[in-house]
Structure 1
Amino acid sequence: MSERWTAEEAHTWFEAQPWHVGCNFTPSYAINQLEMWQPETFDLAIMERELRLASSIGMNSARVYLHDLLWMQDAQGFLERVDQFLSVADQQGIRIMLVLFDSCWDPEPCLGLQRAPRAGVHNSGWVQSPGVPVLHDHGQHGRLEAYVRGVVERFAADPRVFAWDIWNEPDNGPEVALCDPALLSAKADLVVPLMVAAFGWARECKPTQPLTSGIWLGDWSAPDLLSPIQRAQTSHSDIISFHNYGTAEDFVTRVRWLSAMGRPLLCTEFMARPAGSTFQAILPAAREHRVGTFCWGLVRGKTQTHLPWDNWSSPLPEVTKDAWFHDIFDETGTPYDAAEIEFLRMLSAV
């Protein structure tokens, strides 16, 4: 089995990179990862148009979610669609971080026609990968290994892919939303062995890109304060990634905490306008500390992530233009806030 990159190798890789500034990208037509990629709904023209918007404001990177069921459905067709997407992104000067697994939102994903968005609800159709039933079913873990190996091997030396995110927020999901210690522990017991195995499967494909999994909640100011799942994430990551939806002060505090690990940093999720996590607040701090950054969302669409998190289970009336939570443009390409666009273009020109 190949080894985790040394800190020196990670820094050598990072110093050869541009400052990564981008978004978490789901095209506006898709309610989730499955609708983005399934052959019946895959729409390269819309992706191209929306990635052009990202490029127009100086973004050079995007973080994009895959799903294990897409591999099970049609592995070769899935890889071909990913390849087509990477080509379109490359034409816009955007390199991609691919996310293999995700523990957020609906724990029982299904192939086929995806449900319509629930009116007034943030991310009402997003699905976990793998679903919780598969976490429990060790008989299906072999196909998860085939998925990881198949995707990573295909793109292991592809310059259009700059990093691999093995597992998004592995300790998240509605089944632990109440922070019940028993539920949190049960989820970790299921996820940690599979996540560590997934790091190993990916590493054995000898990718030229780094592997990571981002931590997102709690106090990271000392190693003994990390949860077992966070220790597994950070100890297997070549570069350290994290999520932060707080103020600039909170962002910088967490950067200082994580810098003690001695590895390059990526903030793979940020921007929650009402919480003070804005482009104008975060990006200057990120640039100063050379932390790559990825806001949540690009074009408002079926994910409805312009709505706030706290209405996921309690629908609220459609918010006005003045209250967007995530996302940058509406479906016509009109920006939510022209001042944000001017700021992003100015920052990319520096």
Structure 2
Amino acid sequence: MINAESQIHGAVYISSRAYNSYQMWKEYCREEIERDIGYATKLNLNALRIWLSYEYWQEEPELLKERFEHLLTVAYSQGIRIMPSLFECCASPQTRERLLDKNPLTAVAVNSPLEEVVNDASCWKDTELFVKWIMEHYSSDERLLAIEIINEPNTPQRFRFARTMVEIAAKLKGSIPITVGSIHAEENLYYLDLGIDIFQFHDNFPSELKSFSDRIQQSLQVADIVGKPIWITEWQRLRKGRIGWNGEGTDNEEWQPEYVTLANVVRESGIGHFFWSLMVKPAYLIGQRKSGTLNGVFHEDGSVWSLEDARAISGHAAFHAEENKKWPDWAKAISETYIKK
């Protein structure tokens, strides 16, 4: 079991041109994964948070395992442990068309499993099998940092689904901790009786530095009261203007990455953390996409969007790479459509 005092320096990782987890595993490229994990080591990261794909597992379980094994082995050889998330709740409703869409203006992250599955407990047998499959293969695999059962359940029925999946995982738990991606620290209490080991919370775009710092301290207190470690597993940048969640845009070029605005607070707090995201990508969620949001540190060629950001995250003022504040060619349609010049 991971020590509560362990210092986690991590990033969310989705391969550069994948818009959802299904695409990442269906289009899996070993050379790309090896390259990107190399980039992570340059930032002195020791963990990556990723999504597996229940939908791809339904189609190709052995191929998913083969590809996941490759990622785990490469990462572990570089001193990086993986926290996979099994299900997703904060994205767009899933359709087959959305799973496959690659148009940067319309492609989206999708919820997993289907909403009709979540809403009908009689349909949970296959999702239970997926959780059991993961736990049987990886519950004591030292290449894993933790197993995140689900990300951001946010309705009563999704919480009920999450509790059932956590309960199944807890019964099969080995030496690897289990956890749930939560927006607020207090939401972790919904699973405390089931035996989750790590608390999480998210704060992507705070509007004030003090409130961000206060939230970290308050979350640490919540976790301390119940004797659990807690990590902030999504953070990005300070946005003093419009936040951008609903496609309303942002102010003062706050659409672009600027991790340096929060990095010192995160580091000084001593909390385990994952920033979003390792690779320069258009926003994961469609509302932020329509606000022109771009996030990430590394372009595919190894240049960085912001040298200042890379230095702040790595903790080394001497970090050096070419700086390139240009949108990737394959994603330019987003900036041309949604960012006001």
Query: TM-score range with shorter-chain normalisation?
Result: 0.7 to 0.9
Equivalent residue pairs, number: 296
Q: 1:267-294: per-residue Cα shift (whole Å, max 9, x none)?
A: 0000135459953343333333321111
Residue 36 of structure 1 aligns with an amino acid whose one-letter code is: M
1:215 match: 182
Q: 1:106-163: per-residue Cα shift (whole Å, max 9, x none)?
A: 21243997111333x6xx4211111202112334311111100101221111111011
1:103 match: 89
Change (3 A) 1:102 1:234: farther
Do residues 194 (structure 1) and 164 (structure 2) align?
Answer: no
1:136 match: 119
Do residues 332 (structure 1) and 297 (structure 2) align?
Answer: no
Q: Let me know the Cα RMSD of the aligned residues.
A: 2.8
1:198: Cα distance to partner? 1.0
Residue 71 of structure 1 aligns with an amino acid whose one-letter code is: W
Task: Output the CA distance in 1 between the equivalents of 2:118 and 2:135.
Answer: 21
Which of 221, 242, 246 is equivalent to 2:201? 242
SS for the counterpart of 1:162 is coil
1:200: Cα distance to partner? 1.2
1:287 match: 267
Q: Is the 8 A contact 1:25 1:63 kept in 2?
A: yes
Counting only pairs closer than 5 Å after superposition, residues 148-187 of structure 1 correspond to structure 2 as 148-171=131-154, 187=155
- Identical positions, percent: 23
Residue 14 of structure 2 aligns with an amino acid whose one-letter code is: T
Task: Output the CA distance in 2 between the equivalents of 1:291 and 1:235.
Answer: 24
Provide TM-score, normalisation by structure 1: 0.76
Task: Output the CA distance in 2 between the equivalents of 1:278 and 1:266.
Answer: 21
Task: Output the CA distance in 1 between the equivalents of 2:63 and 2:317.
Answer: 36
Higher relative contact order, chain-length normalized (CA < 8 Å, sep 6+): 1
Counting only pairs closer than 5 Å after superposition, residues 20-169 of structure 1 correspond to structure 2 as 20-38=8-26, 41-110=27-96, 114-119=100-105, 124-169=107-152
Provide TM-score, normalisation by structure 2: 0.78
Q: Is the 8 A contact 2:279 2:298 kept in 1?
A: yes
Q: Is the 8 A contact 1:109 1:128 kept in 2?
A: no
1:91: Cα distance to partner? 2.5
Residue 201 of structure 2 aligns with an amino acid whose one-letter code is: F
Q: Is the 8 A contact 1:274 1:325 kept in 2?
A: no
Task: Output the CA distance in 2 between the equivalents of 1:348 and 1:138.
Answer: 52
Gap runs ≥5 in structure 1: 1-9, 172-186, 221-225
SS for the counterpart of 1:128 is coil
SS for the counterpart of 1:332 is coil
Q: Is the 8 A contact 2:22 2:99 kept in 1?
A: no
Task: Output the CA distance in 2 between the equivalents of 1:24 and 1:332.
Answer: 19
Task: Output the CA distance in 1 between the equivalents of 2:234 and 2:316.
Answer: 19
Change (3 A) 1:128 1:113: closer
1:32: Cα distance to partner? 0.9
Q: Is the 8 A contact 1:234 1:240 kept in 2?
A: no
1:3 match: none
Q: Is the 8 A contact 1:97 1:164 kept in 2?
A: yes
Task: Output the CA distance in 1 between the equivalents of 2:68 and 2:169.
Answer: 17
SS for the counterpart of 2:110 is coil
